[in-house]
Structure 1
Amino acid sequence: MQSSPTARYIDVLTLPRVPLTFGSALIGRAAYALVFLPLLYAVTDAAGSIALGGAAVATYGATASFLSPVRAWLIDRFGARPVLALLTVMFGGALAAIATASLVGSVGATLIVLAGVAGAVAPPLGPTMRVAWGALAPSSAQLRKALSLDAVAEELLYLAGPALAGIALAFIAPGLALYVPAALVTVGGLCFVATSAVGDMSRRVRTTDVHTKSRSLLLDRRFVGVLLPALVAGAMSGTLSVAVPASLEGNGGPAAAGVALGLFAGGSALGGLVYGALKVRGSLARQLVVVSAGLLVASSFVAVVSGAVAVSVVLASAGLFFSPVMIVAYVAAHAAGGERQQNAATTWVNTSHNLGGAAGSAAAGVLIQQGGVPTAIIGTAVAGVLIIALSGILARPASTSAKIMK
């Protein structure tokens, strides 16, 4: 892969096939940012229980996260186009089924099962798009910019999605609101599947010996070293999502916490743009250690500041490091996945982040109960430092991936 140090974001957006491929993928991916609130309230209203609504959201999230490596393996094994098309139709249908069932007043158990089915068949549009960038962006500099742009777009989707869903719920029933992500993922997902970039992935699978067994990426210690920073980033994000509302409970309450966490997402989007614009030298392993350490250090100041303004400033600063961690991890995953395990590699990065987020949220609740917000933040930071140190040891010899961003 040749170097292109003068690559700009506009260069990436005007590459052949990029507008249609990236645009259609974003339409489909927007559905994910719009699902959670309508799902929660649709089940709550139909079943008459917020507990059952929370259980439906948790079931959806659990099946979506824990089965993501299986969906990635299916794509790598049978090709992106047929598998993604099937998953997209099934996911859109599952969301429409939940919407309809909630509107007719189905029992909570039925809605929870449907939520689990929806999560199980959620099409990995994001990971597949990140694989497609490897073919669409012909140089290493353009690939990094493309992945930076992708990360920023995803941050903005999850920043705007819940707000738009909340506004919609003020005017229409939650069940009706669920039809919107169902339509978005079906239209955007199928348009994405129809692009030549996705078709090329399927052709690569067909021209490779499908009976050749690939060694599991998780048996490669260097790849595990790449996943650990994503795990740490997720853990700190999950910790903050619980610690910040607790910290601001008597100082602005939910509104202040929402603004502060929104600034974290905004800082992450800005950090991704800036990082993609820079020409960063050094191995991927070293970059992961540096930006992950920056995230931990900046986030740790939440433990020592007070007040909505101070917490918001700290979170905006910490957010600058979040997207760069994920961007470098995705670039490293591109290198590690080779021809046959691209989707699996990028999906494992997502899965590591999600597992870290779940662990961070769960641990934060216990630590805050026992010792307060500072205990939760510092506890996550200390554990994160140890994990990042292990990551540096495991990933250090990754000579094949270390050169890609020089």
Structure 2
Amino acid sequence: MRYLSKKCENIAKSRPRVIPENDLLFKSLSAAQVRGFHNTLALRAAHDAEFEKAKERLGTLKEDPGNEIKLKIYALFKQATIGKCNAPKPGMMDFVGKYKWEAWNELGDMSKDEAQLQYIKIVEDLAGAEQPAETGSQAGDSGKFETLAVSNSDGVYKIMLNRPSKKNAINYQMYEEWGQALKEAAEDKNVVLAVVTGSGDYYCSGNDLGNFANIPPDGVKAMAEEGGRILERFISAFIEFPKPLIGLINGPAVGVSVTTLGLFDVVYATDRATFQTPFSNLGQSPEGCSSYIFPKLMGAAKASEILLFNKKITAVEACERNLVTEVFPDHAFKSETETRIQQYAKLPKMSLQMSKYPTREMEREMLHKVNKLECKVLVERWQSEECFQAIMNFFSRKG
């Protein structure tokens, strides 16, 4: 029996093995699955590495991205690290906790990988938005300005509002830097004219309400009074600017970025720009000498629609009301305005200044008087319960 068994074993070894077709298919699928498994592991490792970089990069951002974006980042982080929301909903009095929970819960069954990818993209977009939109070719930014991109060449001093992630909202730092840039342009003998525009899709979304978010130890009154002093200096820089000042309104303009347009010499706008001063909605009042200039430009009734009743107008309507000089199609806005500015910059600079001087000099004392009065009223408004409640409601809606 041992001999027969051994012989059968030798025969079996010498006989070619026939592998069924299904067995071949199984082996082929298994190999593909193995390759896919390894690819998935490699991809996930890459995601994890990028995710860790994004977390580190988030901590280096200079700009506060705002409550809405911060909630999204928080939710994606929780989804990427834990998965579907598994925490109990916070109580009604825990406002912050409730907003965070709702943001996470809204992501539903989103995979961890997808949450990582979205998290990475948001952080990259925020970091990219903080890169300078434009650098100065001669004088200008060399680290001097953080909220502006300034260039100075061929007689044109260009001020670009450079907080695109915040729609170029004006914080206290931008108020000071913008005034400083105007002073620099005024004192530079090589500058013929100055231009102001915005980076990104907005010209300016107005006063950054984050200015009111942190009340100093001295209290609301001290904060309001300091804000009034900053604003009065800012508007005075426009009143005193001796050279032609041109506004290039590349997108929507809100609040103080609208009211100051009356202090420009020429204002060009893209046809997608809009103009709104929602002061009464926020319990505030007009500034920028607009309470004096707007009725002169467009009549009392038309001015009241904008300054009192928050009416948003198009670029064409702004042109009809003499707030805007000319409107260009968006696709041609940059090329058309650049051509004109280059032509203007070749004009005799002293002739331009002397032509502006009599017009401004006749109004200078009145403009400073109006500026002082408007700032005084605003300081009172900023301390009012009505203003405080309106701003709190605004932040609640944003949340």
TM-score (norm 1): 0.25
TM-score (norm 2): 0.25
